[in-house]
């Protein structure tokens, strides 16, 4: 090895130690911001390349599907923990925190919760099943997960309507939310408990969320934070609304997180993330890659988002991406099958211009040097 190559090896090692690249930008997402950085994952069975990417760049993971009621209790009293146990031990072995998702949702929830021999279950029966699900699941993962999305997407997307009309609502009523949070706290006093939803940054949805927060707080219901999902679309990122929502939820004394971030680049008709919505298959516009001009626009818009997150990093505790790389995104399947490019790494695991843009957002020193817990 000549002097030159020894020199460059030493330099490379030093650079990786202080985690900045030659231009002074941080070399990893997790080193770049004061908040935790997460990725959604379906199972610990990932390639070596995916694992290297995950461990180099992320601090947290969210189980994308395996902790939903349909996965954990497909049949009453038959709990299936295999996949989620494997994912949690993978996280523990690799020093990643787990943000568990989700105890109650109207999707991915088997119908037996709401049935009683061909009739709708009574309030008492549905409550009993709900509490039993939460008690069993939260106890099972106690000490192994950092947080729970206790209730997901309970707020109505219909103008003028407060809570979504779901079977949880029709069987139990409005207090199913408070009861769920109480049951979760009882089963694991140390886990943080969150309400998680999409489009709650927009004014009307934000007001409904504030109404829910205040209702819960007035009844001493244990609520620690709000997850703004963040399934946004190219050229339609509602930056002003997002900023107003971060400020408003934080002002209620809650942690604020972006929990399911992606930036869809293939046109779809619907905003938000209604998992039950389907669209008739459009053409697969970009099967062989995204045009450079769109990669650039996506990078610009990710940059604007992270400038905002940087500005409010005293209020944001975590930003989680809904998938590790483009090939792993749900947006390849929803609301119709298409080749999508919503994340910071490509399906070849190479960084996209959007990653460079996010890493290049300069630190706002006055805020970022303050200690964080």
Given the complex with ligand G3I, which of 196 and 301 has the nearer CB atom? 196
Q: Tell me whether residue 260 is one of the annotated catalytic residues.
A: yes
26 contacts: CB under 8 Å, gap ≥ 6: 19, 20, 32, 359
CA dihedral 48, 49, 52, 53 (to 10 degrees): -150
| The only residue of 108, 210, 234, 294 in contact with ligand G3I, by rule CB under 6 A | 108
Number of residues forming the site for ligand G3I (CB under 6 A): 10
User: According to the binding rule CB under 6 A, does residue 271 interact with ligand G3I?
Assistant: no
User: According to the binding rule CB under 6 A, does residue 192 interact with ligand G3I?
Assistant: no
User: According to the binding rule CB under 6 A, does residue 64 interact with ligand G3I?
Assistant: yes
Given the complex with ligand G3I, which of 57 and 102 has the nearer CB atom? 102
The least CB distance from residue 65 to ligand G3I, in Å, is 5
User: According to the binding rule CB under 6 A, does residue 66 interact with ligand G3I?
Assistant: no
| The only residue of 20, 25, 106, 107 in contact with ligand G3I, by rule CB under 6 A | 107
Residue whose beta carbon is closest to ligand G3I? 330
- Report how far residue 338's alpha carbon sits from residue 206's, in angstroms, rounded to the nearest whole number: 31
The least CB distance from residue 131 to ligand G3I, in Å, is 22
User: According to the binding rule CB under 6 A, does residue 273 interact with ligand G3I?
Assistant: yes
User: According to the binding rule CB under 6 A, does residue 254 interact with ligand G3I?
Assistant: no
Question: Percent helix, strand and coil across the chain, each rounded to 5?
Answer: 40, 15, 40
Question: Can you list the pairs that 273-281 forms with residues at least 24 positions away whose Cβ atoms lie under 8 Å?
Answer: 273/198, 273/199, 273/229, 273/231, 274/157, 274/198, 275/107, 275/108, 275/334, 276/107, 277/334, 277/335, 278/334, 278/335, 278/336, 279/335, 279/336, 280/336, 281/336, 281/337, 281/338
Given the complex with ligand G3I, which of 229 and 233 has the nearer CB atom? 229
* Active site positions, annotated: 153, 260
Residues at the site binding ligand G3I, with contacts judged by CB under 6 A = 64-65, 107-108, 152, 229, 260, 273, 275, 330
């Amino acid at each position: 090895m000549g002097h030159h190559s020894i020199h460059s090896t030493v330099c490379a090692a030093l650079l990786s130690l202080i985690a900045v690249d030659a231009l002074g930008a941080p070399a990893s997402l997790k080193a770049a911001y004061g908040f935790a950085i997460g990725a959604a994952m379906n199972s610990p069975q990932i390639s070596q390349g995916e694992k290297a990417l995950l461990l180099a760049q992320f601090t947290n993971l969210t189980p994308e599907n395996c902790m939903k009621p349909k996965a954990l209790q497909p049949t009453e009293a038959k709990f299936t923990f295999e996949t989620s146990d494997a994912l949690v031990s993978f996280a523990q072995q690799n020093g990643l925190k787990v943000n568990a998702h989700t105890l109650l949702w109207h999707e991915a929830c088997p119908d037996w919760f709401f049935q009683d021999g061909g009739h709708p279950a009574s309030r008492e029966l549905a409550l009993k099943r709900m509490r039993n699900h939460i008690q069993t699941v939260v106890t099972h993962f106690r000490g192994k997960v950092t947080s729970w999305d206790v209730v997901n997407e309970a707020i109505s997307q219909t103008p003028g309507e407060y809570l979504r009309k779901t079977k949880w609502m029709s069987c139990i009523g409005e207090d199913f939310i408070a009861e769920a949070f109480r049951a979760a706290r009882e089963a694991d006093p140390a886990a943080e408990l969150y309400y998680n939803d999409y489009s709650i940054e927009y004014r009307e949805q934000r007001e409904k969320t504030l109404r829910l927060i205040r209702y819960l707080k007035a009844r001493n219901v244990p609520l620690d934070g709000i997850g703004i999902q963040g399934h946004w679309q190219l050229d339609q990122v509602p930056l002003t609304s997002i900023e107003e929502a971060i400020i408003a939820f934080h002002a209620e004394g809650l942690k604020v997180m972006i929990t399911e971030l992606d930036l869809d680049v293939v046109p779809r008709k619907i905003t938000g993330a209604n998992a039950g919505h389907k669209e008739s298959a459009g053409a697969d516009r970009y099967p062989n890659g995204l045009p450079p001009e769109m990669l650039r626009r996506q990078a610009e818009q990710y940059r604007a988002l992270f400038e905002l997150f940087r500005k409010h990093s005293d209020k944001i505790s975590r930003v989680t991406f809904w998938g590790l790389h483009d090939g792993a995104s749900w947006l390849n399947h929803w609301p119709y099958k298409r080749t999508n490019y919503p994340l910071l790494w490509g399906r070849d695991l190479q960084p996209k211009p959007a990653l460079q843009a996010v890493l290049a957002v300069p630190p706002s020193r006055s805020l970022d040097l303050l200690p964080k817990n």
